[in-house]
Amino acid sequence: MSIFELHEVNAGYRDVPVLRDLGLTVSDGEFVSVIGPNGAGKSTLVKTLSGDVRPSSGTVLFKGRRLRDYRARVLARELSVVHQAAEALAPFTVYEFIRLGRFPHQDSFVLESDRDREMIARAAETTGVAGLLSRRLTELSGGELQLARIAHALAQNSSVILLDEPVSHLDIQHAVMIMDILWKLNREGATVVTVLHDINIASDYSTRIVGLREGGVFFSGAPAEVLRYDLVEALFGTSCIVLKNPTTGRPFVYPVPGYVQKEGGVT
């Protein structure tokens, strides 16, 4: 079954088109990483998949139905979204914040059901924030906050999780922790779609990598197929060498210092 199906999607802001005739299909159980240069449309793609940006033309299907036909609450039970760093931070405790993830499943007048408590405990366990539950969001480090946001998304108990640069500003310990959690979720059956800045993290964890360029899909395939030096060079416009990560056996991309490509070739 396909989770997302995009056909000839055009989307953007006011008069600036960002996605141009984009076509993409994500199947159940995939771990898809979206990479590409700044301005290629990665965040717009995430917002289109989450329903925050409405395409000006083309269709976006989620589990076979048009995304815009979903009731918001129903969609929230099937799709969790972790946007780039939170817009506002009300000083909720970590527990209260994770509980907000239960919102799409709750009635107005029940504080929390046994099921809610169970799901919150499990989300906290999976992400390792069980020791932070009484801390306030405003007191957390960047890494802890990101773990709490993942826990919040897990409490939604959806089968699809969509993330926009979940590890961009984190130290390598937290980056690996978060990617390991996503990898484990994927192994347990969740479909993961995430924008990543780091090509090598994408290489190590993904079942498929989608390279986005100028609002369209430039390449799409397993890391070993698409992370070739010529494709990566063409995508990012910088020279690189591709070796193999000795621990995972996946491609490992080294940029070559001093060789940024100008229009039409290597300088």
Partner 1 sequence: MKTYCKILLLLAAGLVLVAASLSLGTRFIPPWDLAGIITGEPGSVDYTILVKLRLPRVLLAIVIGGALAVSGTVFQAVLKNPLADPYIIGVSGGAALGATAAIVTGAAPGIVAAAAFAGSIAVITIVYLFSKRMRVGSSALILSGIALGFILSAAVLLIYALSRSDQIHRAMLWLMGDLSGARYDMLNLLGCVSLALILAVMAYWKHLDVISMGDRFSRGLGVTDRDVRVLFWAASLLAALSVSLAGVIGFVGLIVPHMMRSVFGPGHLRLVPASAVCGGLFLLVSDTIGRSLTPPFEIPVGVITGFLGGAFFLVFMVRGRWAA
Residue of 2, 10, 25, 93 interacting with partner 1 (CB under 8 A): 93
Residue length of the chain = 267
Touching partner 1, residues 154-173 (CB under 8 A): 156
C-alpha span between 149 and 127 (Å, rounded): 10
Closest CB 41 distance from partner 1, rounded Å: 17
Question: Nearer to partner 1 by C-beta: 75 or 179?
Answer: 75
Closest CB 165 distance from partner 1, rounded Å: 14
Please give the structure tokens belonging to residue 53.
């940006």
Residue of 104, 166, 223, 251 interacting with partner 1 (CB under 8 A): 104
Closest CB 245 distance from partner 1, rounded Å: 34
Contact in structure between 1 and 27 (CB atoms under 8 Å): yes
Residue 103 near partner 1 by CB under 8 A = yes
Contact in structure between 127 and 151 (CB atoms under 8 Å): yes
Residue 78 near partner 1 by CB under 8 A = no
Residue of 10, 20, 25, 96 interacting with partner 1 (CB under 8 A): 96
Given the structure tokens 């300088």, which residue do they identify? 267
Containing 200, the helix (H) or strand (E) segment is: helix 199-205
Question: Nearer to partner 1 by C-beta: 100 or 130?
Answer: 100
Contact in structure between 75 and 99 (CB atoms under 8 Å): no
Closest CB 60 distance from partner 1, rounded Å: 15
Closest CB 30 distance from partner 1, rounded Å: 21
Contact in structure between 152 and 90 (CB atoms under 8 Å): no
Residue of 109, 173, 247, 267 interacting with partner 1 (CB under 8 A): 109
Residue 192 near partner 1 by CB under 8 A = no
Residue 73 near partner 1 by CB under 8 A = yes
Question: Nearer to partner 1 by C-beta: 80 or 191?
Answer: 80
By CB under 8 A, the count of residues binding partner 1 is: 31
Residue 115 near partner 1 by CB under 8 A = no
Contact in structure between 44 and 18 (CB atoms under 8 Å): yes
Question: Nearer to partner 1 by C-beta: 8 or 52?
Answer: 52
Closest CB 210 distance from partner 1, rounded Å: 22
Residue 86 near partner 1 by CB under 8 A = yes
Residue of 14, 15, 38, 71 interacting with partner 1 (CB under 8 A): 71
Contact in structure between 181 and 127 (CB atoms under 8 Å): yes
Please give the structure tokens belonging to residue 203.
């290489």
Contact in structure between 99 and 116 (CB atoms under 8 Å): yes
Given the structure tokens 């937290």, which residue do they identify? 174
**HSE toward the beta carbon, residue 201, CA cutoff 13 A:** 25
CA distances (Å), origin 159, targets 78, 237, 266:
6, 36, 44
Grouping H, G, I as helix, E, B as strand and the rest as coil, residue 227 is coil
Interface positions with partner 1 (CB under 8 A): 50-52, 71-77, 80-81, 83, 86-93, 96, 100-101, 103-104, 106, 108-109, 111, 156
